[in-house]
Amino acid sequence: MAQAVRVTADRIRKLEVQGARNVAIAAIQSVEELAKATKAETRKEFMKELSEAKATLFASRATEPLMRNAVRWIISQVENSGKEEVAALAKVVSSSSSKFLKNLEASKECIAEIGAKRIRDNMVVFTHCHSSTVTHLLRKAKEEGKTFEVVCTETRPVFQGRITAKEMLALGVKTTFIVDSAARSFMRNADLVIVGADAITSEGNVINKIGTGTVALLAHEARKPFYVVTELLKFDPATVCGEYEKIEERSPDEVWKGAPEKLSIRNPAFDVTRRNFIHGVICEEGIISPHSIKEVMHRKHPWIFE
Ligand code: RUB
């Protein structure tokens, strides 16, 4: 299997590539590189390479349906192309990867355009972790001349909130950085909460960075609107058939390196936010109710259920 796929899977595992969108993009690019560098001589050999790449990428992080949907879609395009020559099959990988990436970029723009309308002058926007989709939306609002402030949590244990804070400062947005446990104290001054997503289940529940569920509860308690900003393709079709979304559990070292030996440390990377706490899902189809996610997926991406 191509070196590029192994290296990418490793970088994803180590969080050198972070956030569901970036993970999916890196995975797609590695499959493209595999196709370019392939030494396969037959269709069978090439399909085997793709299938091994898929297994390696899927094993890199558990809670990444966008990456899984992307890789599955590209492989299905190759399978259904009816081509036999390896060079022709490699071309299908390249064209379908480009198409997927282009659509991903277009949805990001569309989401930002729709979501930026929810940002009004003088608002305090509360966010958790780092979502490139959320920060792009805020960038758009800023470019439109809106004046707003951001409160962001540091997001233990690996501090993705620092990425958000740096990006906001670079945009010239007044930003307040807080420890995760200060979230309740700062929620009362927030006007709007927006977070990203790693996965959406068939019931419309959302899986995002650990602590998101708590932030949603706090927003509910303080009666603040809580929005999830996401591509539709973070929907996990396996949840329709009863599978639970797997929550990645990371190394205890991220929480406490050199901790006492007998101490049990748990480090789940994500948690589930129930749909009842979500005012709306800001996606490329507009602002939709989490209850309607499965219908929207059937209409927009029927292939995902195949
Ligand atoms: C990142 C995280 C992000 C989502 C959405 O977790 O939970 O909120 O992935 O990000 P991690 P994006 O740092 O463990 O990958 O909108 O960029 O897809």
The answer for residues whose C-beta is within 8 angstroms of residue 232's C-beta and 6 or more apart is 107, 200, 283, 284, 285, 293, 296, 297, 300, 301
Catalytic positions: 129, 198
Residues of the chain with pLDDT under 70: 1
User: Residue 1 has what pLDDT?
Assistant: 59
Closest residue (by CA) to atom 6 of ligand 1? 19
Best CA proximity match to 9, nearest among 65, 61, 69? 61
Give the tens place of pLDDT for each residue, 156-176.
999 999 999 999 999 999 999
Task: Using the mean position of ligand 1's atoms as its centre, give its distance from the Cα of residue 38 in Å.
Answer: 31
Task: Using the mean position of ligand 1's atoms as its centre, give its distance from the Cα of residue 295 in Å.
Answer: 24
Best CA proximity match to 219, nearest among 195, 188, 198? 188
- Reported as half-sphere exposure (CB side, CA atoms, 13 A), residue 179 has a value of 2
Ligand 1 proximity of 267 Cβ (cutoff 6 Å): no
How would DSSP label each residue in 251-264?
A: -GGGT-TT--TT--
Ligand 1 proximity of 153 Cβ (cutoff 6 Å): no
Ligand 1 proximity of 198 Cβ (cutoff 6 Å): yes
User: Residue 151 has what pLDDT?
Assistant: 98
User: Residue 2 has what pLDDT?
Assistant: 82
Ligand 1 proximity of 127 Cβ (cutoff 6 Å): no
